[in-house]
Amino acid sequence: MKPNSISLETQATILMTTRLGETGDDLKPLSPAEFRSVQRWLCERGLTLGNLLSTDHRAVVDAMIAEGVGTALIPSLLDRVDSLSRAIDHWSAVGIWVIGETDDDYPERLKHRLGSTGFPLLFGAGQREFLTTGGVYIVGSRNTSDTGLAFSKTLAARCGAEGITVISSDMRGADREAIGAASAAGGNIICVLSDSLEKAVVAKRHRELLEQGKLTVITPFSPDTRFRVANAIRVSRYQYCLGDFAVIVETRRTGGVWLGAEENRKENWVPAFVRADDTVPLGNEALLSLGYMPLAENEVSGCDEIGAYLISRLTTASARPPSVTAGPGDSANEIGALLFNIFCEKLAAFAGKTARSPEEIQDYFRIEPEQAEAWIAQALEDGLLEDADDADQYKARPSNQRH
């Protein structure tokens, strides 16, 4: 992969949104909200991001900044062309490629389902064509029970044997067990990461599958990004949106798996099933009560073809009359929204001048870690918080910069 093999549009996107990992490169890239505002400003004037590299961008950028769009760092970010060339050489050496949302081979599923709420880049390694095949997203908590792990392995093995791509993360528990079982069955795998793509592509368990052409590893974040709770929550939407179905093996009523399932339910990205055997966590039961379809281990192991069976279950479900949502659920949602609004008001003062870590926010509000993770992620999405630096800390965004 060479710089001239990447479109000007994608080059400009990398320059404005990505740290390039060089010593002395302490420029802060644009936040997602800032980047989208620049994109809209250019579009309204018949310009593209690529125009910023193909012409003298100074006058255009000065006009943009004068109107309060973007940041004064944009010219310096765009001037890092030599650093970009070195970064691309480094990524290529370990097999990493990058595609932008305006490129022809960017997954149509992500464009259609996420639109501007997604990140504008995908970094990855392995077979890009896997990103267009659909598949089954298998997800569970890190501390999934032995029964849940067995279910995950059985489902993934059946998918792998039938040529259905298995989509998951590299998290310990049901996700990693699914990848291992699909691999053992000779299946294709998409692994969506929230951090450390550079480390993942050289890890032995991934390297072998990449060399065999059985694995695609992707992330919407820079290849050297370190783990952040908010990013782990954000990537779940990619895992859902790349698939045809999702199967939730185990979840609590809080945490990343629950939040991802709730977002999929609201956005209606893909049909989703929940493991429904004799003993399941309360989170599974809650999702079932919200309308997710049950799927038991004996159904997974006993059907003739798992792909055809999931489709038949979907057809059967669509023929049923719609269920009525109970009133107490609505009340709970209203209370949750009220508490979140109070959280945001207090957070503006607590994290207004000093960047705060998730642990500090949790301690200040005296809430559980999962609740802190969820509210931080939502505040980031709403533009109320912004990443302060690489230390997993956050600052409240000034009211005049919110979106």
For the chain, the average pLDDT equals 87
Q: Which helix (H) or strand (E) holds 301?
A: helix 297-302
* 38 in a structural domain: yes
- Residue 338 pLDDT: 57
Could you tell me the pTM of the whole model? Answer: 0.79
Closest CA to 121 of 87, 71, 86: 87
Give the whole-angstrom CA distance, residue 33 versus residue 10.
17
- Residue 184 pLDDT: 96
Is the domain of 135 the same as that of 77?
A: no
Summarize pLDDT for 95-137 with one digit per residue, the tens.
Answer: 999 999 999 999 999 999 998 889 999 999 999 999 999 999 9
Contact present, 181 and 150 (Cβ < 8 Å): no
**Out of 223-232, 297-306, 385-394, which region has the weakest mean confidence (pLDDT)?**
385-394
Beta strands 166-168 and 189-192 are: parallel
Residue 355 lies in domain: 345-401
Is the domain of 288 the same as that of 162?
A: yes
Give the whole-angstrom CA distance, residue 39 versus residue 54.
16
Is the domain of 254 the same as that of 197?
A: yes
Whether 348 shows a pLDDT value over 70: the answer reads yes
- Residue 372 pLDDT: 81
CA 181 to chain CA centroid, nearest Å: 23
* 111 in a structural domain: no
Q: Helix or strand or coil: residue 186? A: coil
Q: How many domains does the chain have?
A: 3
Beta strands 245-248 and 136-139 are: parallel
* 119 in a structural domain: no
* 247 in a structural domain: yes
Of the pLDDT bands very low, low, confident and very high (cuts 50, 70, 90), residue 391 is low
- Residue 313 pLDDT: 86
Whether 14 shows a pLDDT value over 50: the answer reads yes
Q: Domain containing 231 — which CATH number?
A: 3.40.50.450
Report the b/e string of 242-275 with b at 16+ CB within 10 A. Answer: bbbbbbbbbbbeebbbbbbbebbeeeebbbbbbb
* 371 in a structural domain: yes
**Out of 159-173, 198-212, 236-250, 354-368, which region has the weakest mean confidence (pLDDT)?**
354-368
Rounded to a whole number of angstroms, the distance between the first and last alpha carbons of the chain is 36
Asked which of 283, 318, 353 is the last residue of a domain, the reply is: 318
Give the whole-angstrom CA distance, residue 395 versus residue 387.
7
Is the domain of 75 the same as that of 144?
A: no
Give the whole-angstrom CA distance, residue 145 versus residue 151.
10
| Phi, psi (degrees; rounded to nearest 5) at 192 | -100, 120
Which structure tokens are listed for 365? 């509000």
Contact present, 91 and 123 (Cβ < 8 Å): yes
Whether 253 shows a pLDDT value over 90: the answer reads no
Alpha helices in 235-276 (DSSP H): 236-241, 256-267
